[in-house]
Amino acid sequence: MKLTADCASTTAFFASACLALLASSCLTPPAARGIGKPSDPPQATAPVAPSFGDFTRTSPELFAKLRLGWNLGNSLDVPNGETAWGNPRATPELFAAIAKAGFALVRIPVTWAQRLGPAPSYVIDQSWLERVEEVVGYARAAGLYSIINLHHDGADGMRGVGWLSLKDANGKTTEENNAVVRAQFVAVWTQIAKYFANQGEELMFESMNEVHDGYGKADPRHIEIVNDLNQAFVNLVRASGGNNSKRHLIVPGYNTNIDETLKGFKLPTDSAKNRLILSVHCYDPYLYALMGQTHTWGRASPGRDDWGQEDYIVAQFDKLKSRYVDQGVPVVVGEYGATHQEGYEDYRRYYMEYVTKAAVDRGLVPVYWDNGGGGSGGESFALIDRNNHGVLHPKVMEAMLRAATSSYSLKDIALPAPAK
């Protein structure tokens, strides 16, 4: 995800997303879970992050302890400069604040496109590698596990940036385009993997972000291309030396979409045992969680979307648990969240507590999407102040921590107070 003022395709982008998601939600969900109001709600406590290990833990063992994460969105993933979308440069103080707030894991999205030399080598600018290493070091110093990836390199609608494309310049899916993209993907990831090869267990690699070709029904060929790139990623990382033979690696399904992942994702074969993690994203329902066009959420609320409520979230996460977590493949919800809407704050608290609790109870690790966006309405995801390092919405943060650390049922989550 991103926050830019000049993205002309935003409206069409999310309109098509909503239509596709509405179409995909026609399956009858399980019976609705009961929702109630606790008389004595559990108290939030900061989760204890696991100490950095020496790669003796499997991915399931590690992810069982991480529980809650945070995204450094709209910073190193900004194609034309870390501060170009309005956020200040990341600092050690920011990462200390992230840890203090209660997060154990930070996802550091990185866009490489504008830092690459020409084909066929695609040499990455040394100063950019050093800056990414510096920020990873901030996370380590704060006691945080971290993830780096290819982010807007696979974005749609970003001219001159999204080279990781499923179609060629003429809009066609061809073997020639696949070969060119795969060669660049391998060249870029080989350099990243070698540069960070001696980093410890606390650093993880994620192959790509939301690689897709629109939000309609996925072309089966594109699902296979994503699967092939994931396999190439695992192969090259394992062959790149240092600690990479045993590093925890994260691979997404097509567009990180839960339904498309369940239909077509193939877990790569891996020379390392139990070192792979699946990534999905969740902003359901889009009109509420991401765009702020509807203002309330929950079965009992007025004016809600006609899909994507409590039973839908539970059903989606149940499927991920059954298909992957119960089979020894951890799942990270690499992005999730609800945008801030002034006057509807308690609906956001309710959404964040419910979705976080539903995820954590099923063994999923949710990673909040913070893009630094203030204000109210679509894409206003700021939770940690990037300048002063305080928590901007303490009730939301408390609800997330309560969900991640306390033992209680979904039916015990307090319903939102009606908006005034």
DSSP per-residue letters across 236-298:
HHHTS-GGGGS--EEEE-GGG-HHHHHHH--PPP-SSTT-EEEEEEE--SHHHHTT-SS---S
Q: What pLDDT score was predicted for residue 331?
A: 98
Q: What CA–CA distance (Å, rounded) separates 253 from 255?
A: 6
- What residues contact 206, with CB distance under 8 A and at least 6 apart? 107, 147, 148, 149, 150, 249, 250, 251, 252, 279, 334
For residue range 234-286, list pLDDT tens digits in order: 999 999 999 999 999 999 999 999 999 999 999 999 999 999 999 999 999 99
Q: Is 46 exposed, middle or buried (0-12, 13-18, 19+ CB in 10 A)?
A: middle
Q: Are 356 and 323 in contact (CB under 8 A)?
A: no
Task: Report whether pLDDT(7) > 80.
Answer: no
Average pLDDT, the chain: 90
Q: Are 372 and 75 in contact (CB under 8 A)?
A: yes
Confidence of residue 134 (pLDDT cuts 50, 70, 90): very high
Q: Are 105 and 367 in contact (CB under 8 A)?
A: yes
Is the domain defined by 45-412 classed in CATH 3.30.1490.20?
no
Q: What pLDDT score was predicted for residue 12?
A: 38
Q: What CA–CA distance (Å, rounded) separates 166 from 160?
A: 15
Task: Give catalytic residues, as residue numbers.
Answer: 210, 335
Q: What pLDDT score was predicted for residue 29?
A: 34
Task: Output the pTM of the full model.
Answer: 0.89
Query: What tokens appear for 373 in the block?
Result: 């966006």
Q: What CA–CA distance (Å, rounded) separates 377 from 129?
A: 35
**202: closest CA among 147, 240, 271?**
147
Q: What pLDDT score was predicted for residue 197?
A: 98
Q: What pLDDT score was predicted for residue 325?
A: 98
For residue range 179-220, list pLDDT tens digits in order: 999 999 999 999 999 999 999 999 999 999 999 998 888 999
Q: What pLDDT score was predicted for residue 51?
A: 85
Rg for the chain, CA atoms, rounded? 20
Tell me the average pLDDT across 141-147: 98
Lowest-pLDDT choice from 100-104, 299-303, 350-354? 299-303
Q: Between residues 163 and 27, which one has the greater pLDDT?
A: 163
